[in-house]
Amino acid sequence: MNLPEKLVIATGNYNKYREFEYIIKKIVGHDIKTKIIFAPEISKLTIDETGSTYAENAILKAEAWSKKINLPCLADDSGLEVEILNGAPGLYSARIVEGDDDKKIKWLLENLNNKNNRNAKFVAVLALKIPGEKIILSEGTCKGKINKYPAGNNGFGYDPVFIPEGFNLTFAQMDFKSKNLISHRAEAFKNLIKLP
């Protein structure tokens, strides 16, 4: 797939935008001709994530932003799925409890207290909407496990407690580049550009 001349990252989360900017440039190459834009630099838009799947939420965001600014938009919806919690917090990862990331991590660790099975995975679904064309979807996952306590100061969300498969560090202990070569968003973007 060839990327458009301009690509708006349809999120209000600057951390997520930074990750996408790095992932896209790293995977496509630093000679990339596409201009990558943080959506709030162009306009303001609040979208309620009312979908019942990651894909539905990603589509909602990509279509709403593309309609508003008439540019190609890439949106994602993602979540952390914990095996022993039947996939929770999943779709509700960002809003499982009121409050900041620390409160969400506290909720997770309390629910895993005394549990031996700490297998988990991050899932990301990307939706690319180019005006006048059908929406394109791709998915990526990153398997790992939940640490017994938060560690590291990098990243955001559940990064301080997620240890990716094959590593002994949490996402928050890894440097920005290392995390974003193996993350669920990186895998989803790799899958996206393989599409015709």
Residues that are catalytic: 77
Phi, psi dihedral angles at 70 (to 5 degrees) = 55, 45
Give me the amino acid identity at 191: N
Token digits for 39?
């959506």
24 Cα distance to chain centroid: 13
Token digits for 37?
């834009």
Phi, psi dihedral angles at 140 (to 5 degrees) = -145, 150
Of 19, 91, 25, residue with least CA distance to 60? 91
